[in-house]
């Protein structure tokens, strides 16, 4: 009898970090004006700006660092970020549709209730972020990395997570129906109450205890 070879999990490609070519201290500091006028913000540093609750005409940022900037409640169509680091920024309840992000790093940011619908993210890092109720519905993620962040009750329906690294994430009660989870390692993440269908978790990597949790969620009876 010929044994079939077991298909091994394919490791996702390594994420590329933000390419900010100058030391932070050498970046020119900018105020709110270029953000309000939809100007390209490039090789710049913005600190402590309050842009909250505005409908901005656009947002284009490259090779820059944003620290403590509040975009809470903003509405932006097709924002574009490339080689940008956001540190302790607030994007709570922001609506950024068709959000294009390449080599972007969110560090200790508030993303509570943010709507990044139909986003297109390449090499994006979320580290120590609060993403409760975050909506990434129909998003396309490639070579992204989400670590030590809270995605409780997040809406990740129809998101392709196949090349995303998840590390110590809280996905409790998150909605991942129709998401792609093949080769996604969930073993050190919290998945209690996660919403999935049987076909959604095919090929995902889970621990024995998580397998029991998923069996319960899927209505299986284990005897």
pLDDT tier, 221 (very low <50, low <70, confident <90, very high otherwise): low
In a domain, residue 144? The reply is: no
In a domain, residue 2? The reply is: no
Name the pairing type of β-strands 75-77 and 95-97.
parallel
In a domain, residue 148? The reply is: no
pLDDT of residue 10: 60
Give the residue-averaged pLDDT of 202-206. 88
The rounded distance, in Å, linking the Cα atoms of 63 and 44 is 7
**What is the tens place of the pLDDT at every residue in 43-59?**
999 999 999 999 999 99
Number of domains within the chain: 2
Q: Which of 133, 139, 141, 87 is nearest to 114 (CA)?
A: 133
pLDDT of residue 223: 58
pLDDT of residue 198: 83
pLDDT of residue 106: 98
In a domain, residue 223? The reply is: yes
pLDDT of residue 6: 46
pLDDT of residue 208: 87
Q: Which of 147, 145, 136, 82 is nearest to 108 (CA)?
A: 147
In a domain, residue 9? The reply is: no
pLDDT of residue 197: 85
In a domain, residue 153? The reply is: no
In a domain, residue 85? The reply is: yes
In a domain, residue 167? The reply is: no
Tokens of 180: 């792609």
Full residue range of the structural domain in which residue 211 is found: 181-187+195-223
């Amino acid at each position: 009898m010929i044994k079939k070879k077991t298909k091994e999990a394919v490791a996702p490609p390594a994420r590329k970090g933000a390419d900010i070519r100058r030391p932070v201290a050498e970046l020119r500091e900018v105020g709110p004006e270029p953000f309000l006028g939809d100007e390209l913000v490039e090789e710049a540093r913005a600190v402590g700006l309050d842009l909250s609750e505005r409908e901005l005409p656009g947002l284009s940022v490259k090779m820059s660092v944003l620290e403590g900037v509040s975009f809470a409640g903003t509405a932006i169509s097709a924002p574009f970020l490339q080689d940008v680091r956001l540190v302790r920024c607030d994007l709570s309840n922001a609506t950024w549709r068709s959000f294009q992000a390449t080599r972007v790093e969110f560090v200790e940011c508030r993303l509570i209730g943010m709507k990044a619908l139909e986003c297109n993210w390449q090499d994006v890092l979320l580290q120590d972020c609060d993403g409760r109720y975050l909506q990434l519905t129909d998003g396309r993620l490639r070579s992204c990395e989400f670590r030590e962040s809270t995605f409780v009750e997040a809406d990740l329906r129809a998101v392709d997570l196949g090349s995303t690294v998840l590390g110590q994430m809280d996905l409790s009660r998150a909605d991942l129906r129709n998401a792609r989870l093949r080769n996604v390692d969930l073993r050190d993440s919290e998945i209690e109450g996660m919403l999935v269908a049987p076909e959604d978790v095919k090929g995902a990597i889970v621990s024995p205890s998580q397998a029991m949790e998923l069996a319960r969620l899927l209505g299986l009876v284990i005897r």
